[in-house]
Each structure stands twice: as C-alpha cells, then as structure tokens.
Amino acid sequence: MIYQHQIEGGVTMQATASSTFNACATNPVDARLSEQRVAIRHLAVILDGNRRWAERCGLQSIDGYRAGGRNVHALLSWCSEADIPMVTLWPLSAENLSRDPEELQALLTVIADVFEELACTGRWHLRVIGDLSSLPPDVKRRIRNAECHTATVDGLDVNIAVGYSGRLELLHAIRTLIADHLLAGTVNTLQTDLSFESITSRLYTAGQPDPDLVIRTSGEQRLSNFMLWQCAFSEFYFTPVCWPDFRRTDFEEALTVYRSRHRRFGQ
C-alpha cells in the first residue's frame, strides 16, 4: 500500500508498505502475536535536516545541531520503552567532513557534547562506528572517553556513526581480511575463504543484527552511503519532518508502518 504522511501546511510524504495495514484489528492476542513477528531488534536513524530546520526558524546552523542533539535523548527513551534493544544514529558522514571548517567545528562540538551527556545518564551502552582519524584530537578524545565510560552499562546498545561511510567500511573490512590472511600465511586460501561471513565479521557492526528499520528525516529518500552492506533487507521509512521536530507521534507512526509490512527477505 501507499502510506501518506501529512504535516502542517498540507505537505504530503509517501512511504510504500509491502502489505496492507489492518487498522480495524480488534483481537489483542492477534495484535500481540503480530507485533512479535515484526519485532525490531535494530533501529537505524539518519538524523537529517538540522540545518534546514534552523534556516526555517531564522536561526544559525549551530542552533539546529543543538536542537537535534537534544532530541537524541528523547529518541533513545522511546526506543527503550518500545523494547528496541539496539539503535544506530548517524549524525556525521565522512563526506560531511568537507563542510565549512567553522560549521564543522560547531557540529563536532555538539556531537562530543551529546556523547558525554548520554554517557553521564548511565542508561546507554555507547559505541562509536566510523573513521575518527580525521577528527580534531580533542573531539576524538571526548568521544572515546564517553564510549569507555559506558563499557559496562547494561542498557540499550547505541551505535553513533561519526565520520562514517558505508563504502569505506567495506574497504576496511576487505583490507582487514587480507591482512589477517597475510599474518596467518594463508593468502593462497583467500579466494576460497571469501564469504558473506568473512566480510560481515570484519564490519564495524560485527556481531550485531542488521537494521530491521531505517528512518530518515527531512524528506530525503536515499541511503547516502549509509550501512550499504547491513541494509540489504532493511525496511525504510522516510518522513518530511526535520530531525529537531521529530516527535514521539512521528516515531510511533514509523513503527506502525513497519509493523504493517510483510518482510520477505527476497523469498
């Protein structure tokens, strides 16, 4: 079916669902069983639209980044209440590192602030994924310290993708695979040993389930180099709402649409 998301001003967004959502279902047992069948083990969110939100509000870009950062706390609480055990957030791509230096520094400062704020709650197990080598040393240090601070936290697992590129992640995995064979002296078996598992086990997300649902805010309908390997069978939900304006009703709407879909995994 075609799912339409309408926001103030009459702007309509469409999201395609692969099966019809029965809004009239009244049997609570059937509803619970249905939700179990489509449980979300891993939710990924592309946090897009901070600058556009700021422009519409007549504010500076930094104000949009700060508003987006505050919204991360709310999202993680909603995920915990929805029994979603793993979340990946993408605030900064590798391509974003080429932005205006002053604007980039402001964004990096907000990202480091959010890392520290989340770590201080003691509620989330944080993990950074991506290439931090191009980040300023102080930002890198703050992010790594926050990550280490939550190493023993028994809570929602939260990946935060910083300086992340899906293509670079795949290159990193392949290079690691080759290096492992060189170290073991088994390069002659590399071709026969190459498999889905040998790549998956060397990704940043090794050992984690692939995202079941990917939400992207602000109206863009593309992956933009995000988790290219992991999202092979993910469901997608696009909303025109900019990230700072993303509210619980928008979150619940995305889950409702996801639960209406029949995931076939190519079968």
Structure tokens at 205: 């997300």
Query: Which residue spans within 17-135 are E strands per DSSP?
Result: 42-46, 86-93, 124-129
Catalytic residue among 48, 212, 245, 250: 48
Catalytic residue among 63, 71, 96, 180: 96
Distance CA 65, CA 88 (A): 18
Pairing of strands 12-16, 213-216: unpaired
**Mapping DSSP to helix (H, G, I), strand (E, B) and coil, where does residue 137 land?**
helix
**Is 48 assigned a catalytic role?**
yes
C-beta separation of 13 from 219 below 8 A:
yes
C-beta separation of 142 from 115 below 8 A:
yes
Q: What torsion, rounded to 10 degrees, do the Cα atoms 71, 51, 89, 15 define?
A: 90
**Is 225 assigned a catalytic role?**
no
Distance CA 267, CA 264 (A): 5
| ∠ CA 213-239-35, rounded to 5° | 35
Angle at which helices 101-121 and 137-149 cross, to 10°: 20
C-beta separation of 17 from 260 below 8 A:
yes
C-beta separation of 40 from 81 below 8 A:
no
Residues tagged active-site: 48, 96
